């Protein structure tokens, strides 16, 4: 995938931070957003990168079919908004923390 991004001049530096904030604040389903931010506060900033990498891993095959930065970006954003399964994301990037622990954290800290 990295080679393909290089071939289409997909500049990840332009995408990473604004995309992380945009995706993890307003684009994901609310349940997923809460889980990611719970983990962020529990484990630190590396959680955002791990979540983003997990999303890229999930959409990797689809992205290889696109030949421009814009199409890749639009596909990822649409996937996150409409198709991203919270359980799949959490299982892939935070398997060491059971979902029941997320609920406990919300009950204690809210």
In the numeric block, which tokens belong to residue 46? 């590396």
pTM higher than 0.85 = no
Q: Is 35 exposed, middle or buried (0-12, 13-18, 19+ CB in 10 A)?
A: buried
Q: Which of 28, 35, 24, 29 is nearest to 99 (CA)?
A: 35
Among the listed residues 104, 110, 74, 93, the one whose alpha carbon sits nearest the alpha carbon of residue 32: 93
CATH number at residue 56: 1.10.472.80
Q: Which domain holds residue 35?
A: 2-109
Q: How many domains does the chain have?
A: 1
Identify the residue with better confidence: 58 or 24: 58
- Per-chain mean pLDDT for the chain: 77
Could you tell me the two tokens for 31? 């349940």
**Segment 14-30, tens digit of pLDDT:** 666 666 666 667 777 78
pLDDT band (50, 70, 90) for residue 65: very high
Residue 110 has pLDDT above 60, yes or no: no
Residue 108 has pLDDT above 60, yes or no: yes
pLDDT at 29: 78
């Amino acid at each position: 995938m990295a080679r393909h991004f290089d071939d289409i001049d997909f500049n990840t530096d332009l995408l990473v931070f604004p995309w992380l904030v945009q995706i993890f604040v307003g684009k994901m389903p609310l349940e997923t957003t809460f889980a990611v931010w719970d983990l962020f506060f529990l484990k630190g900033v590396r959680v955002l990168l791990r979540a983003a990498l997990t999303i890229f891993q999930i959409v990797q095959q689809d992205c290889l079919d696109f030949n421009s930065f814009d199409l890749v970006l639009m596909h990822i954003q649409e996937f996150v908004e409409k198709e991203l399964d919270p359980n799949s994301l959490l299982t892939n990037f935070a398997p060491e923390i059971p979902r029941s622990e997320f609920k406990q954290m919300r009950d204690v800290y809210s």
